[in-house]
Amino acid sequence: MSQVIQIFMSGLAEGCIYALVALGFVLIYKATEMVNFAQGDLMMLGAFVGYFLIVGLGANYWIALVGAVVIMAVFSYALDVFVLRRVIGQPQFAVVMLTIGLGFVFRAAASMIWGANPLAFVTPFTDGTTSIGGAPIPDVSLSIVAGTAVLCGLLFALFQYTPVGVAMQAASQNQLAAYYMGIPVKRIFALIWAISGGVAAVAGILLAPLTLIDTSIGFLGLKAFAAAVLGGFGSIPGALAGGIAIGLIEQFSGVYLMDGFKDIAAYVVLLLVLFVRPQGLFGAAARKRV
């Protein structure tokens, strides 16, 4: 039983990271109908920024966490204003290729600044464990789950109970109507990019104690994209559920199924779900009149 609890908590923690990156995908897509394939690389940059603040500047972990969120939010805001806004209205293929290209640029820049060797930093949760049901669970895993829950709660409060959040929802549902109501749509979209960058930074810093930091962790965004599709692209609850589902599937399949199946389990499940429910678990079926 203790092994099952350990596997479950490990999968839940991993799934929360997928969920946070998938959340960034969905937030941007709901607002701009743009798929940002550089979202995983924004997470990677957030982890490196956290490393710089903690190791390079000697900042406290919590100060570094807030600092990394602010830095990545400002960076993402500027990215939208000066780069991505220029391609709105262009063919989707061009937009997708731009975000993929940005991912390459981010990885190259990180490699030049921080080098190619994997890096690590110590957090308050690095070495501790907590017993749950008789199973020792690393505090790192618990911190990821707790951090994800807190962040999701803050985002829910932002979208439901603040004027900015309501404006974001209005702009994402109908840009033209929001514009006629006096909502600064372009600024709102830039704020959504900033939020996505901040969420990516949180994911990167939460992930860092689980693995060494290098440019390859940005490729985790591919599994997060699968999580967003699994949950229903455009559904925020779906992104969270899809990420957690993929994390659990990977961990349990890695233990109980054949070797190597862990790496493809998420995609196999994704294909099966889409075969039965093409819109994803939480997505609404799109209907077009001809």
CB contact at 8 A, 208 and 120: yes
Is residue 22, in this structure, part of any structural domain at all?
Answer: yes
Is the model's pLDDT at 113 over the cut of 90? yes
Give mean pLDDT, residues 189-208. 94
Is residue 166, in this structure, part of any structural domain at all?
Answer: yes
Is residue 122, in this structure, part of any structural domain at all?
Answer: yes
CB contact at 8 A, 185 and 176: no
Q: What is the DSSP string of the chain?
A: -HHHHHHHHHHHHHHHHHHHHHHHHHHHHHHH----TTHHHHHHHHHHHHHIIIIIS---HHHHHHHHHHHHHHHHHHHHHHTGGGGTTS-HHHHHHHHHHHHHHHHHHHHHHH-SS-B----TTSS-EEEETTEEEEHHHHHHHHHHHHHHHHHHHHHHHSHHHHHHHHHHH-HHHHHHTT--HHHHHHHHHHHHHHHHHHHHHHHGGGS-B-GGGGGHHHHHHHHHHHH-TT-HHHHHHHHHHHHHHHHHHHHHS-TTTHHHHHHHHHHHHHHH-TT-SSPPPP----
Average pLDDT, the chain: 88
Is residue 281, in this structure, part of any structural domain at all?
Answer: no
Confidence of residue 290 (pLDDT cuts 50, 70, 90): very low
pLDDT digits (tens, 9 = 90+) for 11-66: 999 999 999 999 999 998 888 888 899 999 999 999 999 999 999 999 999 999 99
Give mean pLDDT, residues 167-176. 79
pLDDT of residue 283: 65
Is the model's pLDDT at 205 over the cut of 90? yes
* The total number of residues written for the chain in this structure: 290
pLDDT digits (tens, 9 = 90+) for 144-166: 999 999 999 999 898 888 888 88
Is the model's pLDDT at 289 over the cut of 50? no
Provide the token pair at 244: 């957690």
Question: Model pTM?
Answer: 0.91
Is residue 275, in this structure, part of any structural domain at all?
Answer: no
Is residue 208, in this structure, part of any structural domain at all?
Answer: yes
Is residue 223, in this structure, part of any structural domain at all?
Answer: no
More confident residue, 287 or 242: 242
Share of the chain above pLDDT 70, in %: 97
pLDDT digits (tens, 9 = 90+) for 257-288: 777 777 788 888 888 888 888 777 776 655 44
Is the model's pLDDT at 136 over the cut of 50? yes
Is residue 235, in this structure, part of any structural domain at all?
Answer: no
Closest CA to 79 of 108, 56, 106: 106
Domains identified in the chain, total number: 1
pLDDT of residue 206: 94
113: domain range? 2-217
Give mean pLDDT, residues 97-115. 94
Is the model's pLDDT at 142 over the cut of 90? yes
pLDDT of residue 144: 94
CB contact at 8 A, 15 and 148: no
More confident residue, 106 or 236: 106
